[in-house]
Amino acid sequence: MAMREIVFDTETTGLSFSGGDRMVEIGCVEMLNRVETGRTFHAYYHPERDMPVEAFNVHGLSQAFLSDKPRFGDAVEELLEFVGDSPMIAHNAGFDFSFLNGELTKCGRPIVHMQRMVDTLQIARSRHPGAKHSLDALCSRFGIDRSHRVLHGALLDAQLLAQVYVELMGGRQIGLGLLSNTGSSASTPVVAQAPRVVRPPRVFVASEGDLAAHAAFMKGIKDPIWGAVASG
């Protein structure tokens, strides 16, 4: 059975839902067996409040741009249908979960249980202690192109994070598990073995010239230790 996971990111008006901030964007990427399927979900939401300049400088979403977007509670069904009951992966996931669950609670919907949360920040800290663990730093570590990331964007960041997540969990080869003709598990990678080429052994024989040159060299050595051993 395929393992389905959702990698997601949010953009907000600030740092605290309980302090009055709201979620204004969410981007989700679907993965099966840690391979992106190409299915994504992306939505903007009306924040029902102003946009602080500090938040605008991070994601570039203005109050004017969001003014005609739906309120979260009016568009929540699409998001819930896409997410389903799959585990949800985010970077510094506690932050994103606090806003997602805050919005769900506000509109009277059940929250996403914290057991479904996978935090790539915690994974990165355990795998690479002492290193930098921002999304940009992890992209650099794993050679993931982020040149198009000028501002934060929920869907773009979720797509970058999906690649980072794969690398943190073992690298791109984990998605190469294919079923063999004998019906082996899809979770076990099947690696095609190249045919082994057996070469005939090489024969190394010194020529007469090589032997003569060696004998002349040996005669030129004064008081060789093997001579003293032989005479003793």
Q: Specify whether the CB–CB gap between 112 and 23 falls below 8 A.
A: no
Residue 229 DSSP symbol? H
What SS3 class is residue 11?
strand
- Is 11 annotated in some ligand binding site? yes
Active-site residue flag, 152? yes
Mention every residue, 6+ apart, whose C-beta is less than 8 A from residue 127: 168
* Active-site entry in 113, 133, 148, 152: 152
Instruction: Report CA-CA distances (Å) from 78 to 26, 70, 72, 84.
Output: 12, 12, 10, 10
- Is 54 annotated in some ligand binding site? yes
Task: Convert 84-102 to b/e letters by CB count within 10 Å (16 or more is b).
Answer: eebbbbbbebebbbbbbbb
- What CA–CA distance (Å, rounded) separates 135 from 196? 43
Task: Convert 180-210 to b/e letters by CB count within 10 Å (16 or more is b).
Answer: eeeeeeeeeeeeeeeeeeeeeeeeeeeeeee
Residues identified as active-site? 152
Q: Binding site: what residues are annotated?
A: 9, 11, 54, 59, 157
Q: Binding site for substrate: what residues are annotated?
A: 9, 11, 54, 59, 157
